[in-house]
Amino acid sequence: MLAYFLCYCLGVLPKGTKRMARRNVLITGCSSGIGLALAVKLAKDEQKRFKVYATMRNLAKKQPLEEAAGHSLGKTLEIKQLDVCDEQSIKTCVNSIPDRRIDVLVSNAGMGLIGPIECQTIEEMKTVMDTNFFGLVRLLKEILPDMKRRKSGHIVIISSVMGIQGILFNDVYAASKFAVEGFCESLAIQLTFFFFFNRLSLIEPGPVVTEFERKVFEDGMKMDLSAADEETAEMFTNIYLKNYKQIFQSLGQSAEDVAEIILAENPPFRHQTNTLYTPMTTLKYADPNGDLPIDIFYKMVFQHDKIFSASLNFIKLLRWRSRKSFDLGKPSQ
Ligand SMILES: NC(=O)C1=CN([C@@H]2O[C@H](COP(=O)(O)OP(=O)(O)OC[C@H]3O[C@@H](n4cnc5c(N)ncnc54)[C@H](OP(=O)(O)O)[C@@H]3O)[C@@H](O)[C@H]2O)C=CC1
Ligand SMILES: CC1=C(/C=C/C(C)=C/C=C/C(C)=C/C=O)C(C)(C)CCC1
């Protein structure tokens, strides 16, 4: 079912319903996680509808993708170098594609950052903004003019539920995804003029079990908290980090699940992939004043932490008993 929605997002109907010319898809951040899963999914499409340019900043990390790609490597999938923080590397990559033709751009590369801001340097914060926000801007500056000239193209952006709603100790990461969302919301209006209908889609996953989760947790565990006061350091360690793994185990999707959701025909502008997480984001829309989600999150963390933890365990148990992850992203029929 998620596969259906993925195909739907990149402009392909289910098998056998429509024939289309092969489409060039460029994906950033394919060394692991969602980018890798999506690249492989598209490259292995039975009808060979895609030519995938799976890019990564460090080609020394290409082995997992090569292994997962199998026979599609060198046929429907090519691996290329692209660092979203380096304009020249983007240009070189795009110039190496025949006629520079990119039908679908998937802006996926990104990184997380957690912890008290007192313990993060401005340089670390700038790297997150540079990767998650300016990385997208650089890609579009290079690729969008060609799409506008052709009056066709589709841009899929991996945003996050944190592009809608901030979460404790994710201040800068959430800011980077809010920047992405504001930027895209503005751009979508202009693109509707060029492409006649909206061809820009924001994918908003909740927690996904990937390298992102591991890296962010490890960095959080070894963070030097000496610049924070005792209460803040305690809150980060004993509330946030303590619950972190449990949240991913209970609510987390797999990269493959998310990959399946990404391609759809006439996709909505925003698509949240994780139905278990939507009660959280709905709080934002339920109260235009913005107090409700802050109040509820505060109570969940500081007053009803045992109920919150028990609820997460219950969800985990239900998912385990069903012996497969819930079909979290099933599109409504
Ligand atoms: N995992 C989660 O819970 C969620 C993730 N997301 C978003 O999904 C996207 C993919 O993350 P996910 O698959 O989970 O995590 P991974 O860490 O598995 O993948 C992130 C990818 O981005 C790459 N990357 C980082 N910086 C750059 C750069 N400067 N240029 C090119 N590539 C770069 C990484 O490369 P390298 O290996 O070299 O570091 C890696 O290939 C991100 O935008 C993330 O914000 C959204 C919601 C939830
Ligand atoms: C739900 C929730 C929490 C944590 C949420 C997390 C950890 C979400 C992670 C989302 C990710 C990783 C998105 C990536 O883009 C808290 C603050 C513990 C308590 C309040 C409710």
Residues 252-280 pLDDT 10s: 999 999 998 886 666 789 999 999 899 99
User: Which ligand lies nearest the alpha carbon of 111?
Assistant: 1
- Cα dihedral: 25, 26, 28, 32 (round 10): 50
Q: Which residues are catalytic?
A: 173
- Rounded percentage of the chain residues whose pLDDT exceeds 70: 89
Tell whether 184 is in a known binding site. Answer: no
In this structure, is residue 97 part of a structural domain? yes
User: What's the 135 CA to ligand 2 centre distance in angstroms?
Assistant: 24
In this structure, is residue 257 part of a structural domain? yes
**What tokens were used for 325?**
């992850």
Residue 62, number of CB atoms within 10 A of its CB: 19
Beta-carbon contacts of residue 250 (< 8 Å; ≥ 6 apart): 276, 312, 313, 315, 316, 319
In this predicted structure, what is the pLDDT of residue 324?
56
Number of domains in the chain: 1
Complex ipTM > 0.90: yes
By the 10 Å C-beta count (0-12 exposed, 13-18 middle, 19+ buried), 304 is classed as: middle
In this structure, is residue 200 part of a structural domain? yes
In this structure, is residue 333 part of a structural domain? no
Domain encompassing residue 58 = 2-321
In this predicted structure, what is the pLDDT of residue 70?
97
Which residue ranges have their beta carbon within 6 Å of ligand 2? 160-162, 167-168, 206-207, 240, 243-244, 247, 280, 297, 300-301
In this structure, is residue 329 part of a structural domain? no
For a ligand 2 pocket test, name from 167, 246, 303 the mutation site with the most ligand atoms within 8 angstroms of its C-beta. 167
User: What's the 155 CA to ligand 1 centre distance in angstroms?
Assistant: 17
For a ligand 1 pocket test, name from 204, 208, 272 the mutation site with the most ligand atoms within 8 angstroms of its C-beta. 208
Tell whether 40 is in a known binding site. Answer: yes
In contact, 157 and 109? CB cutoff 8 Å: no
- Which CATH number belongs to the domain containing residue 220 in this structure? 3.40.50.720
Q: How far apart are CA 193 and CA 147, in angstroms?
A: 12
Q: How far apart are CA 284 and CA 47, in angstroms?
A: 41
Beta-carbon contacts of residue 222 (< 8 Å; ≥ 6 apart): none
In this structure, is residue 55 part of a structural domain? yes
Question: What is the number of the ligand 2 atom nearest to the C-alpha of 213?
Answer: 12
Which residue ranges have their beta carbon within 6 Å of ligand 1? 28-35, 56-58, 61, 83-85, 108-111, 131, 135, 158, 160, 205, 207-208, 210-213, 255
User: What's the 286 CA to ligand 1 centre distance in angstroms?
Assistant: 30
Residue nearest (by alpha carbon) to ligand 2 atom 12: 207
Q: How far apart are CA 45 and CA 56, in angstroms?
A: 21
In this structure, is residue 89 part of a structural domain? yes
In this structure, is residue 330 part of a structural domain? no
In this predicted structure, what is the pLDDT of residue 264?
65
Q: How far apart are CA 128 and CA 112, in angstroms?
A: 7
In contact, 328 and 274? CB cutoff 8 Å: yes
Amino acid at 42: L
Selection from 120, 117, 121, 119 nearest residue 225 by Cα: 119
User: What's the 167 CA to ligand 2 centre distance in angstroms?
Assistant: 6
pLDDT in single tens digits along all 333 residues of the chain: 334 444 444 544 444 444 568 999 999 999 999 999 999 999 999 999 999 999 999 999 999 999 999 999 999 999 999 999 999 999 999 999 999 999 999 999 999 999 999 999 999 999 999 999 999 999 999 999 999 999 999 999 999 999 999 999 999 999 999 999 999 999 999 998 887 666 899 999 999 999 999 999 999 999 999 999 999 999 999 999 998 988 998 889 999 999 988 866 667 899 999 998 999 999 999 999 999 999 999 998 888 777 878 788 778 788 777 755 555 555 433
Tell whether 46 is in a known binding site. Answer: yes
